[in-house]
Amino acid sequence: MKKIVKYVITDILRNKIVLVYTLFLLVSSFSVFSLEDNSSKGLLSLLNIILIVVPLVSIIFSSIYVYNSAEFIELLVSQPLKRKTIWLSLFTGLSTSLSIAFFIGAGIPVLIYQANMIGFTMILIGLLLSIIFVAIAMLATVKTRDKAKGIGAAIMLWLYFSLLFDGLVLFLLFQFADYPMEKPMIAISAFNPIDLSRILILLQLDVSAMMGYTGAVFKDFFGTYAGIIFSFAILVLWIVLPVWYAARKFNTKDL
């Protein structure tokens, strides 16, 4: 397994795209921090990058990578190796290299300008989001054989998580305007890792005070240790469930 992971990582790191991604993150985070006069404002702008760009790059890059290494996977399958090992090492390699890219690109500037609780949460959430979207991409690729269809599905999934889901939430809010929706919203936010991450970070910043009653309800939940542990557990679940399901599918897949 170690050998495959090593091979995948070196293969990806040699790929120029990840390098460009790292540089892009690095340049945008440094410019965001130096443009804004106070660094907590910079964090807010960086939040938008993390919530939109990181999932997009993770999901599309990983699905293309998995499709492109179809022949390599076939070769590995013909060797005396367990299919589960192959799949998991592919996942580990992809998520490690994208996490490294994120850490160098966004983590280091955050550590330089905002080495506090909020900064650490932000880095942790960025790393988790990278891994989550690798997992989702691998699920999408294992479900569809056709390359174009699979990449299309990956893009649709990204669109769903970053835009359509929120549209649905808005629609729900309008429909149930007469009911107290604050608490159900907490449950609903668990169904979207991007929303969950956004709320977690916003509550750490002092902008939570302007979120009014909604903010207060959220703070009561996400502000406590139990709430933080719960939401990180949900985020980890967002990694474990797709990976586990995809590995099972891959086990019986006709290559």
Partner 1 sequence: MRSLLFIMSVFLYVGATAKTIHVGANRTYKNIRAAVDAALAGDTVLVDAGMYKEKNLVIKKSIVLKGINQPVLDGEKKYEIISIMADGTVVEGFRIIHSGISSMEDLSGIKVYDSKNVLIKNNVLEDTFFGIYIQNGLSCTIENNQLTANGKEEQQSGNGIHCWKCDSMRIIANKVTGHRDGIYFEFVKNSIIWRNTSTKNIRYGLHFMFSNDDMYVSNIFSNNGSGVSVMFSNRIKMFSNYFEENWGDASHGILLKEISDGYMQGNHFNKNTSAIFMEGGNRIYMTYNTFENNGWALKIQASCLDVVLEHNNFSGNTFDVGTNGSLVQNTFNNNYWDKYEGYDLNKDKIGDVPYRPVSMYSMIVEKYPPAMILFRSFITSLLDKTEKILPSLTPENLKDNAPLMKKAF
Contact set with partner 1 (CB under 8 A): 41, 44, 47-48, 51-52, 162-163, 166-167, 169-170, 173-174, 177, 181-182, 185, 189, 195, 198-199, 202, 206-207, 209-216, 218
User: What amino acid is encoded at 171 in this protein?
Assistant: F
User: What amino acid is encoded at 17 in this protein?
Assistant: I
Alpha-carbon span 247 to 4, nearest angstrom:
16
- The distance of closest approach from Cβ of residue 243 to partner 1 in the complex, given in angstroms and rounded to an integer, is 26
Pick 170 or 236: Cβ nearer partner 1? 170
Pick 73 or 205: Cβ nearer partner 1? 205
Alpha-carbon span 208 to 48, nearest angstrom:
17
Radius of gyration of the chain (CA): 19
Q: 182 in helix, strand or coil? A: helix
Pick 11 or 182: Cβ nearer partner 1? 182
Q: Both tokens of residue 169? A: 């939430």
Alpha-carbon span 140 to 158, nearest angstrom:
11
Pick 24 or 165: Cβ nearer partner 1? 165
Q: 97 in helix, strand or coil? A: helix
Burial class for 160, CB neighbours closer than 10 Å (0-12, 13-18, 19+): middle
Pick 19 or 180: Cβ nearer partner 1? 180
- The distance of closest approach from Cβ of residue 205 to partner 1 in the complex, given in angstroms and rounded to an integer, is 10
Pick 80 or 212: Cβ nearer partner 1? 212
- The distance of closest approach from Cβ of residue 52 to partner 1 in the complex, given in angstroms and rounded to an integer, is 6
- The distance of closest approach from Cβ of residue 40 to partner 1 in the complex, given in angstroms and rounded to an integer, is 10
Q: 35 in helix, strand or coil? A: helix
Alpha-carbon span 211 to 102, nearest angstrom:
29
Which letter does DSSP use for residue 105 in this model?
A: I
- The distance of closest approach from Cβ of residue 98 to partner 1 in the complex, given in angstroms and rounded to an integer, is 21
- The distance of closest approach from Cβ of residue 32 to partner 1 in the complex, given in angstroms and rounded to an integer, is 14
